[in-house]
């Protein structure tokens, strides 16, 4: 089974490498008795404190195989390669490279690859209804040179 490679870390950052997106199928996520091939979570490897994310590869003809929803977490799904279909609350629509889908916590969701090439997805999960106008202005531009 493929493992996340740690690149570097210090007090204020962590960096990892998941490998080539085409090799995501080498990861297997174990959820008790359930094994999900091609899925890997990354938040813990990066010591993320504000959300979670995962990469997932669906081979042609595969799907999540279940509906799920959340109590508090909203999700953003970024489609990085391939074509497929996404379902929320019974509404089915096409997704492909470049598509982004936001699903509110209560939305019942699922994904499938009905195409002929691998469907690669990045999912970002975070607590819904928390981002404010003040958060949008949270960054500070520093008057310091960038030293490469």
- What pLDDT was estimated at residue 1? 77
Instruction: Return the CATH number of the domain spanning residue range 20-129.
Output: 2.60.120.10
Largest CA distance in the chain: 53
Residue located via tokens 């962590």? 14
Entry pTM: 0.93
Mean pLDDT on 36-58: 96
Other CB atoms within 10 A of residue 6 CB: 12
pLDDT tier for residue 63 given thresholds of 50, 70 and 90: very high
Mean pLDDT on 134-144: 92
User: What whole-number distance in Å separates Cα of residue 115 and Cα of residue 20?
Assistant: 20
> What average pLDDT does the structure give for the chain?
96
- The domain segmentation of the chain, as residue ranges, is 20-129
- What pLDDT was estimated at residue 61? 97
């Amino acid at each position: 089974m493929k493992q996340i490679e740690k690149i570097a870390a210090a007090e204020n950052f962590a960096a990892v490498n998941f490998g080539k997106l085409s090799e995501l199928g080498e990861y297997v996520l174990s959820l008790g008795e359930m094994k999900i091939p091609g899925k890997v979570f990354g938040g813990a490897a990066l010591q993320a404190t504000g959300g979670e994310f995962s990469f997932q590869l669906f081979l042609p003809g595969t799907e999540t195989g279940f509906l799920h929803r959340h109590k508090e977490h909203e999700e953003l799904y970024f489609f990085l390669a391939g074509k497929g279909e996404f379902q929320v609350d019974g509404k089915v629509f096409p997704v492909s490279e470049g598509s982004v889908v936001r699903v509110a916590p209560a939305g019942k969701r699922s994904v499938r690859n009905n195409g002929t090439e691998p469907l690669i997805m990045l999912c970002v999960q975070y607590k819904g209804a928390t981002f404010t106008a003040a958060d949008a202005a949270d960054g500070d531009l520093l008057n310091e040179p960038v030293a490469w």
